[in-house]
């Protein structure tokens, strides 16, 4: 009997993964689990009745745009709306500066396709967003960590010779930190001086709970040109300010960068859902995102306060943390260096609570001292119980260390 031929192996990059990510993604199957691991909006914030009306209108009145294949770049009306929304004094944006993507994750994937050579160097704000690391993993890049909060941080030195820089300036995922205005100006100056593209990923830019929003690096890089042609590649999404299921994101950049990303998108999904784009366009026109924002901010601000208060009651003496001024996360660092937060994750799941360990935000997986805790999904009572369970799990993990 002839034996079947051996099939070729899978791509090598698939072997470079970790079971921690799989573990916390599968944790949702545990009964009575309190999930504080993901970056999940609360469904309570979704304007369901408004979206239902907009969906009906999109299908009945704009079926050609909503139901057919659409342009790779995105619907012209939505691109115009986003260009108008982000234009500012000194920053002139047109349709040619905007690409619609299938969520923010596709934008990250497309950037990897057009900017990363195999094994190329990325200068990334550290710790770095897990989704970006996953999107770029097939190209096996190397990373230069950018610790923006360090007193001796030099953005020009960090960006020099990198294929691009990557920053989440508004309430970074995972740390929740806010990059200050002067650091933003320094990043823009460094990108211009070195000629390095600088990706400004901004999924949390509307979620300011304390104080007025800071200017985007995109805005600071404007030079009052007829059409923006600067070094910033700005990424946005509707996932946090409307609903994540739309999978509507966008890139704002110089026209030549948009053209390169369009070429990459053509071989990815050809076009983003026309129905979702049309709903988003009409939502912008109706001012829906602005109308629901105060309710969203009020809800999330109260949950941030509830989590931090619960952490003070249950985790004081075990972790240190700062109260974030926006975003979706608290970053907590173990006071005892013996605590391995990969081990803590397993213990936490046994106590029916889930948080995200710091190793998945480190390209080398070496940082095992911190955890990311989400506060937007759960009501205050669950946040209280989650903090209590986490304290029990931490003491158990330290006892076994």
Number of Cβ within 10 Å of residue 215's Cβ equals 15
Report the candidate in 352, 309, 307, 359 with the shortest Cα–Cα distance to residue 329. Answer: 307
pTM of the predicted protein model: 0.95
Residue range 97-107: average pLDDT? 97
Q: Is 222 helix (H, G, I), strand (E, B) or coil?
A: coil
- Residue with the bigger pLDDT between 17 and 147: it is 147
Q: Are 249 and 107 in contact (CB under 8 A)?
A: yes
**The predicted structure's pLDDT at residue 8:** 83
Has residue 5 got a pLDDT over 80?
A: no
Q: Would you place residue 12 in the very low, low, confident or very high pLDDT band (cuts 50, 70, 90)?
A: confident
DSSP assigned state of 200? E
For residue 214, give both structure tokens. Answer: 């800071």
Close Cβ partners of 230 (under 8 Å, ≥ 6 residues apart): 192, 218, 221, 222, 223, 254
Whole-number percent of the chain with pLDDT over 90 = 90
Residue range 195-223: average pLDDT? 97
Distance of CA 275 to the CA centre of its chain: 24
- Which DSSP string do the residues of 311-323 spell out, in sequence order? HHHHTBTTEEE--
Q: Would you place residue 11 in the very low, low, confident or very high pLDDT band (cuts 50, 70, 90)?
A: confident
Of all helices (H) and strands (E), which one includes residue 353?
Answer: strand 353-354
Has residue 353 got a pLDDT over 80?
A: yes
Has residue 18 got a pLDDT over 70?
A: no
Using the CB atoms, write b or e for 102-126: b if 16+ within 10 Å: bbbbbbbbbbbbbbbeeebbbbbbb
For residue 398, give both structure tokens. Answer: 């330290």
List pLDDT tens digits, range 293-336.
999 999 999 999 999 999 999 999 999 999 999 999 999 999 99
Whole-number percent of the chain with pLDDT over 70 = 96
Distance of CA 96 to the CA centre of its chain: 24
Q: Would you place residue 21 in the very low, low, confident or very high pLDDT band (cuts 50, 70, 90)?
A: low
**The predicted structure's pLDDT at residue 347:** 96
Question: How many angstroms separate the CA atoms of 78 and 98, rounded?
Answer: 9
Q: Are 373 and 307 in contact (CB under 8 A)?
A: yes
On average, the pLDDT of the chain sits at 95
**The predicted structure's pLDDT at residue 25:** 64
For residue 271, give both structure tokens. Answer: 């076009």
**The predicted structure's pLDDT at residue 1:** 58
């Amino acid at each position: 009997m002839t034996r079947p031929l051996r099939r070729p192996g899978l791509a090598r990059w698939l072997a470079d993964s970790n079971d921690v990510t799989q573990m916390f993604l599968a944790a949702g199957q545990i009964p009575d689990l309190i999930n504080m691991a993901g970056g999940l909006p609360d469904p309570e914030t979704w304007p369901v009745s408004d979206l239902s009306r907009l969906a009906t209108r999109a299908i009945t009145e704009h079926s050609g745009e909503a139901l057919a294949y659409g342009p790779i770049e995105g619907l012209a009306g939505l691109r115009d709306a986003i260009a108008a929304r982000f234009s500012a004094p000194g920053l002139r944006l047109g349709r040619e500066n905007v690409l619609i993507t299938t969520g923010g994750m596709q934008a990250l994937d497309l950037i990897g396709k057009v900017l990363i050579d195999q094994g190329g160097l990325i200068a990334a704000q550290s710790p770095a967003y897990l989704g970006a690391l996953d999107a770029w993993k097939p190209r096996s890049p190397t990373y230069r960590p950018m610790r923006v909060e360090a007193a001796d941080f030099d953005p020009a030195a960090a960006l020099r010779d990198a294929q691009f820089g990557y920053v989440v300036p508004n309430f970074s995922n995972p740390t929740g930190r806010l990059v200050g205005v002067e650091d933003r100006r320094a990043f823009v100056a460094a990108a211009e001086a070195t000629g390095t593209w600088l990706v400004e990923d901004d999924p949390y830019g509307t979620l300011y709970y304390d104080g007025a929003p800071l200017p985007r690096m995109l805005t600071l890089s404007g030079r009052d040109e007829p059409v923006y042609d600067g070094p910033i590649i700005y990424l946005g999404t509707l996932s946090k300010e409307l609903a994540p299921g739309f999978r509507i994101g966008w890139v704002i950049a110089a026209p030549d960068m948009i053209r390169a990303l369009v070429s990459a998108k053509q071989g990815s999904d050809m076009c983003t859902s026309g129905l979702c784009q049309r709903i988003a366009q009409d939502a912008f026109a109706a001012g829906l995102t602005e109308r629901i924002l105060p309710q969203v901010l009020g809800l999330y601000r109260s949950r941030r306060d509830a989590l931090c208060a619960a952490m003070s009651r249950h985790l004081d003496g075990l972790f240190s943390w700062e109260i974030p001024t926006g975003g979706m996360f608290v970053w907590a660092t173990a006071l005892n260096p013996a605590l391995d937060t990969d081990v803590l994750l397993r213990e936490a799941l046994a106590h029916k609570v889930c948080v995200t360990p710091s190793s998945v935000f480190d390209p080398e997986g070496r940082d095992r001292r911190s955890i990311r805790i989400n506060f937007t999904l759960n009501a205050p009572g669950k946040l209280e119980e989650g903090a209590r369970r986490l304290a029990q799990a931490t003491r158990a993990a330290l006892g076994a260390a």
